[in-house]
Homo-oligomer: A and B are copies of this chain.
Amino acid sequence: MTPARFLTTGEIGKYCGVHFRTVIRWIERGELKGHKLPGRGDHRVQVEDFVAFLHRNRMPIPAELAPIEPNRRVLVTDDDENMARAMARTLTRAGYETRIAGDGLQAGVLLESYRPGLMTLDLRMPGLSGFQVLDFIRTESRQDDLRILVVSALDENELQRAVSRGADDYLMKPFENAELVSRIQGLLPLSPTEA
């Protein structure tokens, strides 16, 4: 439950690095939507109005006020650029956001900065053992909610082994686009409005 649906002038002032006196003047000028309470005439601003105000003025939005949108971000890792692009295109059409990582470093950085809800993992990235990757992500990374779909041309035994090491599902190359989408939808469902 969100603790404060409404913000006071003082709170807004702190968020904006501004004196609350200034916030009152913003409200009086109509730049920031708010209302007055009986009594002393305190101002209250709805969080969403404040966020809209911040957005309108290109001001940074504090993380705790940002609306939590469902995670539909997919990180596609594959050193074969064409393959990666094709997968990303398919997923974009299906309603996902995608980023591509062509090597381990990019994958690592994007895992932390892009915070995907799912990553596809090629078990044969150059310089990386896919199993080491799984172990590392499951033990070192703090992303418990990250789904991992292993995509590889290895035989089914290996893929099964990947699942036992921490992958959530697997897909054998070559595969149909529809198959890719359905596997991913199984792991990271989209809400009806997004699909």
| A140 partner, pick from B29, B109, B141, beta carbons under 8 A | B109
Among residues of B, the one whose C-beta sits closest to the C-beta of A109 is B108
Interface size on A, residues (CB 8 A): 54
| Residues A3 and B26 in contact, CB atoms below 8 Å apart | no
Give chain B residues whose Cβ lies under 8 Å from the Cβ of A58.
35-36
Give chain B residues whose Cβ lies under 8 Å from the Cβ of A6.
16-18
Q: How far is the CA of A136 from the CA of B103 in the complex (A)?
A: 11
Q: How far is the CA of A110 from the CA of B44 in the complex (A)?
A: 29
Mark each residue of chain A from 123 to 149: 1 if its CB lies under 8 Å from any CB of chain B, else 0. Answer: 001111000110011001110000000
Q: How far is the CA of A105 from the CA of B104 in the complex (A)?
A: 4
| Residues A39 and B44 in contact, CB atoms below 8 Å apart | no
Give chain B residues whose Cβ lies under 8 Å from the Cβ of A22.
39
Among residues of B, the one whose C-beta sits closest to the C-beta of A129 is B103
Does A37 make an interface contact (CB < 8 A)?
Answer: yes
Q: How far is the CA of A167 from the CA of B53 in the complex (A)?
A: 40
Q: How far is the CA of A126 from the CA of B104 in the complex (A)?
A: 10
Give me 9 A-to-B residue pairs in the complex whose CB atoms sit less than 8 angstroms apart, sorted by A's number.
Answer: A3-B17, A4-B17, A4-B60, A16-B44, A31-B38, A35-B59, A103-B128, A108-B108, A111-B112
